[in-house]
Amino acid sequence: MRGSLLLHWTPGILRTQAFRIVLIYVFVFAVSATTLVGFTYWYTERSLNAQTDQIIEAEITGLAEQYQRLGLRGLADVVVSRSIHGGQGLYLLADNLGRPLAGNLDEWPRSVTLAGVFTEFQYDRRVQSQLVPRRARGKAFLLVGGFELLVARDVDERDLTRKLFTTTLPWSVGLMLIFGLIGGALMSRKVLARLDSINRTSTEIVAGDFSRRVPLSDAHDEFDALAENLNRMFERIERLMKGMREVADSVAHDLRTPLNRLRNRLEEAQRRLDPQSPHAADIEAAIAETDGLIATFNALLLIAEADSGMARGALTQLDLSAVVADVAELYAPLAEEKNIALTVMPAGVLTIEGNRSLISQALANLIDNAIKYTPAEGRVTIFAAETPSGVDLTVADSGPGIPLADRARVVERFVRLEESRNSPGTGLGLSLVAAVARLHQARLTLDDNNPGLKATISFPRKPLRPQKGANRE
Amino acid sequence: MRILVVEDDLEAQRYLVNGLKEAGHVVDDAADGETGLTLALSRPYDVAIVDRTLPKMDGLNIVAEMREHGNTMPILFLSALSEVDDRVKGLKAGGDDYLTKPYAFVELLARIDALMRRRSPSSVKTKLLVGDLELDLLTRIATRAGQTIDLQPREFRLLEYLMRHAGQVVTRTMLLESVWEYHFDPQTNVIDVHISRLRAKIDKSFDAALLHTVRGAGYMIRAR
């Protein structure tokens, strides 16, 4: 059970809504987290640069003042003293050919021009008699007298942080995705299990076991709320079905008894009456009327019985081809009398799960209709055949057919089309066929046979059946 | 013939008893299950007509009890319960036939007639004879006045049923139930067409007709 459940959800999980939601969520989260971190980084770097630039500007202002006040010598002294002071500051005073005069940079960096804009450049710093390349950011300008001054600050630490950041970011995003997916899978599995139990219960109820209920968990979450609502609904359905059955039963009994007495009395009157009496025909007509009433009543009860799903217990394995052969044989002479060619297309053994009596009756109704409405010299063809989804049973005739607009209506109870209003029948024939189809979870379709009607009952390959006690978790 | 009627609807019971008496039977009646069972076990009836829903004891239980006591009296259930399952339940409990209310009296008479006749030890016959019509159940050949009649398998079964009940009225429903094993009412009278075909085969080229239509009831095969 465990193993099969695992197999069941592993490939299936990718198709579930829950997992898709988690996937989208993880993606959106990863994108927004990356954007947030990226923005923070970008903003921090910008402010750091601005800060650096501000310090440099201040220094330049200071140095320019020194130069104005003390001349080149004074400026050189300040540059030397600041250079020795160390820290992050870098200075270089050079002559008009770029030769260093004072400062802690050995040579004028190539990329730095005198345009008066901030530039970043590489320089070598001596660390314990070794030259280490480092980055700096600074600004250079021309002094009155042709001298050049560069003021910069070391920004290597900032770059180190940036490098650290760019290497770890993909990893964190990757980890975020992996954890998100694992979490999502676990979550969807949990959601799936809950949905699965709801689904299973509904299927069993559809299959006719009205006593099933969705199991509740101890979580009291929204799934439990859903389950409780569904259970209330199922309870109501069960109550309604039971009520309908009780009504059908009592109507059956309470109407049968007076109908029985009515028929009895009419028959008694008929027996006592002289056959030559002028009332004999009236009584005979009254008996025929009563019999029509009884036939309608019986058909209605049978439809109710089929629809209540209670006759489902009587489903057995049967060969549809044999059922077709038997019913066709019953109607063959009738067709022959009307010069209608009644043909049964041969088919092998077609095993379905069904109620022989009800399927026979449904088929009899279809064939009876076909023969009734097909003009002499016409054709009625019956075939049963395997289809990808199950077994199809078709009765096709060459009669007038049913207009497209009326096809859905004729399966409703008591609906009779204008043309057939005067022929005998209860108007329940096709309703019964439809009810029998529903009982077998089959579908009744009415198509054009060009010309004529083509009625098909499509039986499913494996009908849903209530499984008592199975698959309960 | 002695008949027991167990029926709690007094109006229906009165009608049933009168009808059966008019048809020449001796009838006892009971209006509840217990009385019905006591009568059935204490007197030899040729057939019992039992309702399903009865006060004190259900019809199914009466029959089950009777069968338990070794009583083989033919029993016909007469019930307002008409579902597919109900008939099966009735026959499983030990009933011999099942008729749903409302019913036609001729149908009931024909059925009890058939039930009573079944008791007489005649079922081991291998040949059925009606006048000069002969049906060999072993070779499955029908002959009339020495001429072989070609019959389809279903026609053979139809003729066999009629001949087993020679001299009795056989209704369309009885034929549909025993020859085709269908318990529904085909809207068109398909049975009539089958009978007329059979009649064409066994009666047409002969002087005396054997297969007769009984108006308002059904058919009967007899030699006269």
Closest CA to B172 of B162, B206, B149: B162
Domain boundary among B119, B154, B188: B119
Other residues' Cβ atoms within 10 Å of the Cβ of residue B16: 24
CA dist., res. A34 & res. A40, Å (int): 10
**A6 — pLDDT class (breaks 50, 70, 90):** very low
Mean pLDDT of A84-111: 80
* A365/B187 touch (CB, cutoff 8 Å), yes or no: yes
CA dist., res. A155 & res. A89, Å (int): 10
pLDDT of amino acid B3 = 94
* B187/A361 touch (CB, cutoff 8 Å), yes or no: no
The residue of B84, B191, B198 whose CB has the most chain A CBs within 10 angstroms, and thus the best one to mutate to test that interface, is: B84
Nearest CA in chain A to B15: A264
Mean pLDDT of A400-423: 69
**pLDDT tens digit sequence for A305-320:** 777 766 556 678 889 9
Other residues' Cβ atoms within 10 Å of the Cβ of residue B204: 8
pLDDT of amino acid A165 = 81
Residues B145 and B212 in one domain: yes
Domain boundary among B60, B91, B119: B119
pLDDT of amino acid B125 = 77
CA dist., res. A105 & res. A111, Å (int): 14
Geometric angle at alpha carbon A388, from A382 and A389, rounded to 5°? 85
Nearest residue, CB atoms, B194 vs list A313, A333, A426: A333
pLDDT at B94 over 80: yes
Instruction: Please tell me what DSSP assigns to residue B83.
Output: S
**A457 — pLDDT class (breaks 50, 70, 90):** very high
Query: Nearest CA of chain A to the CA of B221: how many Å?
Result: 21
Residues B114 and B9 in one domain: yes
Say what the alpha-carbon torsion angle A242, A245, A251, A257 is, to the nearest 10 degrees. Answer: -120
Cβ-Cβ contacts under 8 Å between A and B: the total is 104
| pLDDT over 70 percentage in chain A | 90
Mean pLDDT of B201-216: 87
pLDDT of amino acid A313 = 61
Q: Of B79-93, B187-201, B208-222, where does mean pLDDT reach its minimum?
A: B79-93
pLDDT of amino acid A471 = 39
For domain A310-460, give the CATH superfamily.
Histidine kinase-like ATPase, C-terminal domain (3.30.565.10)
Cα separations (Å) of B207 from B145, B160, B163, B210, B211?
11, 21, 19, 10, 12
Residues B94 and B135 in one domain: no
Residues B6 and B113 in one domain: yes
Other residues' Cβ atoms within 10 Å of the Cβ of residue A220: 10
Nearest residue, CB atoms, A334 vs list B82, B154, B190: B190
Name the most confidently modeled range: A277-281, B80-84, B140-144: B140-144
pLDDT at A44 over 60: yes
CA dist., res. A351 & res. B91, Å (int): 27
CA dist., res. A366 & res. A379, Å (int): 14
Nearest residue, CB atoms, A256 vs list B80, B88, B186: B80
Cα separations (Å) of A384 from A371, A396, A416, B59?
18, 11, 27, 41
Take residue A463 and report the two structure tokens written for it: 């009908």
Whether A439 and chain B come into contact, CB under 8 Å, resolves to no
* Side chain identity at residue A221, one-letter code: D
Instruction: Please tell me what DSSP assigns to residue A216.
Output: P
Instruction: Calculate the CA A431 to chain-centre distance.
Output: 33
pLDDT of amino acid A340 = 92
List chain A domain ranges. Answer: 1-197, 222-306, 310-460
pLDDT of amino acid B161 = 92
Take residue A349 and report the two structure tokens written for it: 């053994």
Residues B66 and B160 in one domain: no
> Residues of chain B whose C-beta is under 8 A from some C-beta in A?
9, 11-12, 15-16, 18-19, 22, 53, 80-85, 88, 100-105, 154, 180, 182-188, 190, 193-194, 197
Take residue A330 and report the two structure tokens written for it: 């019953």
Nearest CA in chain B to A428: B187
Residues B47 and B80 in one domain: yes
Residues B7 and B110 in one domain: yes
How many structural domains compose chain B?
2
Say what the alpha-carbon torsion angle A267, A268, A271, A276 is, to the nearest 10 degrees. Answer: -80
pLDDT of amino acid A335 = 93
Instruction: Please tell me what DSSP assigns to residue A310.
Output: G
Whether A425 and chain B come into contact, CB under 8 Å, resolves to yes
pLDDT at A86 over 70: no
pLDDT at A323 over 90: yes
**B28 — pLDDT class (breaks 50, 70, 90):** very high
Closest CA to B12 of B29, B26, B24: B29
Fold of A1-197: Beta-Lactamase (3.30.450)
| pLDDT over 90 percentage in chain A | 14
Which is it for strands B211-214 and B218-221: parallel, antiparallel or unpaired? antiparallel
Closest CA to A402 of A458, A342, A447, A341: A447
**pLDDT tens digit sequence for A219-274:** 888 888 888 999 999 899 888 888 877 877 777 778 888 888 899 889 888 888 88
CA dist., res. B149 & res. B140, Å (int): 11
**A304 — pLDDT class (breaks 50, 70, 90):** confident
**B27 — pLDDT class (breaks 50, 70, 90):** very high
pLDDT of amino acid A465 = 57
pLDDT of amino acid B157 = 93
**pLDDT tens digit sequence for A180-205:** 888 878 877 887 888 888 888 888 88
Q: Which helix (H) or strand (E) holds A304?
A: helix A280-307
Q: What is the mean pLDDT of chain B?
A: 88
For A96, residues 6+ apart whose C-beta sits below 8 A from its C-beta are: A146, A147, A148
Nearest residue, CB atoms, A253 vs list B80, B154, B186: B80
Mean pLDDT of A325-348: 91
User: What ipTM, to 2 d.p.?
Assistant: 0.86
Whether A52 and chain B come into contact, CB under 8 Å, resolves to no
Nearest residue, CB atoms, B101 vs list A256, A271, A424: A256
Mean pLDDT of A75-86: 80
CATH 3.10.20 fits A222-306, yes or no: no
Residues B19 and B102 in one domain: yes
Give the CATH number for residue B11: 3.40.50.2300
Say what the alpha-carbon torsion angle A435, A440, A441, A445 is, to the nearest 10 degrees. Answer: -60
**A112 — pLDDT class (breaks 50, 70, 90):** confident
Contacts of B187 in chain A (CB under 8 A): 295, 365, 368, 424-426, 429
pLDDT of amino acid A7 = 43
Q: Which domain holds residue B81?
A: 2-119
Contacts of B99 in chain A (CB under 8 A): none
| 8 Å CB contact between B188 and A364 | no
Residues B111 and B11 in one domain: yes
Other residues' Cβ atoms within 10 Å of the Cβ of residue A145: 10
The residue of B54, B82, B198 whose CB has the most chain A CBs within 10 angstroms, and thus the best one to mutate to test that interface, is: B82
| 8 Å CB contact between B141 and B151 | no
**A5 — pLDDT class (breaks 50, 70, 90):** very low
Nearest residue, CB atoms, B102 vs list A294, A364, A372: A294
3-class secondary structure, B103? coil
For B134, residues 6+ apart whose C-beta sits below 8 A from its C-beta are: B127, B128, B142, B143, B144
| 8 Å CB contact between A83 and A91 | yes
Chain A, window 319-348: residues with a beta carbon less than 8 angstroms from a chain B beta carbon: 326, 329-331, 333-334, 337
| 8 Å CB contact between B130 and B210 | yes
Nearest CA in chain A to B153: A329
Mean pLDDT of A22-46: 85
**pLDDT tens digit sequence for A419-442:** 554 555 667 888 889 988 988 888
Name the most confidently modeled range: A139-153, A418-432, B30-44: B30-44
For A68, residues 6+ apart whose C-beta sits below 8 A from its C-beta are: none
Other residues' Cβ atoms within 10 Å of the Cβ of residue B160: 18
pLDDT of amino acid A106 = 79
Domain boundary among B96, B119, B142: B119
Give the CATH number for residue B139: 1.10.10.10
Contacts of B186 in chain A (CB under 8 A): 330, 364, 368
**B171 — pLDDT class (breaks 50, 70, 90):** very high
Residues B16 and B79 in one domain: yes
Residues B88 and B20 in one domain: yes
End-to-end CA distance of chain A: 10
Q: Of A154-168, A373-387, B118-132, B166-180, where does mean pLDDT reach its minimum?
A: B118-132
Residues B146 and B208 in one domain: yes
Q: Which residues of B56-66 are buried (b: 16+ CB within 10 A; e: fewer)?
A: ebbbbebbebb
